[in-house]
Amino acid sequence: MMTQNMVMAAEAAERTFTIEGPLKSITFELFGKEWVVAESVVTQWVVILVLGVLFFILGRGLKIKPESKRQVVAEWIVGFFTGYVDTAMGRKYVRTYGPYIGALFCFIILSCLMGLFGLRNPTSDLSVTASWGCVTFVLVLWTKIRTGGIKGYLKSFIEPMPFMLPFNIIGDFANPVAQSLRLFGNNVSGMVIGGLVYFALGSFAIAVPAVLSLYFDLFSAVIQSYIFVTLTMSYVAMADMEE
């Protein structure tokens, strides 16, 4: 009877599909308290390390006139993001925001591709995308205060009419929240859909999940990275009160 129950439990477990949150990667004791570093944090360290090594290789030994394919690639990347920021925000923002937008785009796209290497996609952790949204919020706030001053910033809440005050306040907080949830939702939905297909096909799950994974991890990574940084630039450019 016990054996039969164990078999039934195993069969039920095989028919169960679950989605888990960030996994515990590192657990240690410090000051009498247990500390846990989530898998999404560890994966982001990996992304930072990979990007650091890649950009170090591309950026060392540069010449005034390109003499290597490595420098041509590096200059193409810089030129791409320079033109990207110039088109979306304006020439005056290129020097200030060009490096940040380029770094953010590369960080997001590589984070989204971590699933191809068997690691948990950091953007499937809401705290990760929310932190990027918070950075956007701070940039927008800083731009408004820098260009309009404290008085101009406070006055913007009652423009064009005083009754717009609650809507303007909500709008300031809604933009980064929506931006974070959009990136999080799209990546999690891709992970769930791929997992459901893999679970449904069972032993026949060979080609179809691979194609879905390629779409959600590669194509979607590019699209979501583009949307996130484009929205960031749009919010910051619209916050400029000097224009």
Helix (H, G, I), strand (E, B) or coil at 28: strand
Q: What is the pLDDT of residue 105?
A: 92
pLDDT tens, position by position, 54-70: 989 888 887 878 778 88
Do residues 17 and 196 touch, judged by C-beta distance below 8 A?
A: yes
**Has residue 9 been placed in a domain?**
no
The residues with which 135 forms a beta bridge, in sequence order, are none
Do residues 93 and 78 touch, judged by C-beta distance below 8 A?
A: no
**Has residue 7 been placed in a domain?**
no
Percent of the chain beyond pLDDT 90?
15
**Has residue 2 been placed in a domain?**
no
Q: Who contacts 155 (Cβ-Cβ below 8 Å, separation ≥6)?
A: 148
Q: What is the pLDDT of residue 243?
A: 60
**Has residue 63 been placed in a domain?**
yes
Tell me which residue of 222, 221, 218, 215 sits closest to 197, measured CA to CA. 215
Among 21-30, 84-93, 113-122, 150-159, the minimum mean pLDDT is found in: 21-30
**Has residue 231 been placed in a domain?**
yes
Q: Is the pLDDT of residue 158 over 70?
A: yes
**Has residue 16 been placed in a domain?**
no
Q: Is the pLDDT of residue 2 over 50?
A: no
pLDDT tens, position by position, 160-214: 777 778 888 888 888 888 888 888 887 777 767 766 766 666 666 555 556 666 6
1 vs 212, more confident: 212
pTM of the model: 0.78
Q: What is the pLDDT of residue 8?
A: 46
**Cα–Cα dist 25/39, whole Å:** 5
Helix (H, G, I), strand (E, B) or coil at 36: strand
**Has residue 18 been placed in a domain?**
no
Domain count, the chain: 1
pLDDT tens, position by position, 3-46: 544 444 444 444 555 555 556 677 778 788 888 788 888 889 99
**Has residue 77 been placed in a domain?**
yes
Q: What is the pLDDT of residue 9?
A: 43
Domain boundaries, position 151: 41-238
Q: What is the 3-state secondary structure (H, E, C) of 101-154?
A: HHHHHHHHHHHHHHHHHCCCCHHHCHHHHHHHHHHHHHHHHHHHHHHHHHHHHH
Tell me which residue of 212, 22, 216, 204 sits closest to 119, measured CA to CA. 22
Q: Who contacts 173 (Cβ-Cβ below 8 Å, separation ≥6)?
A: 137
Tell me which residue of 133, 157, 147 sits closest to 229, measured CA to CA. 133
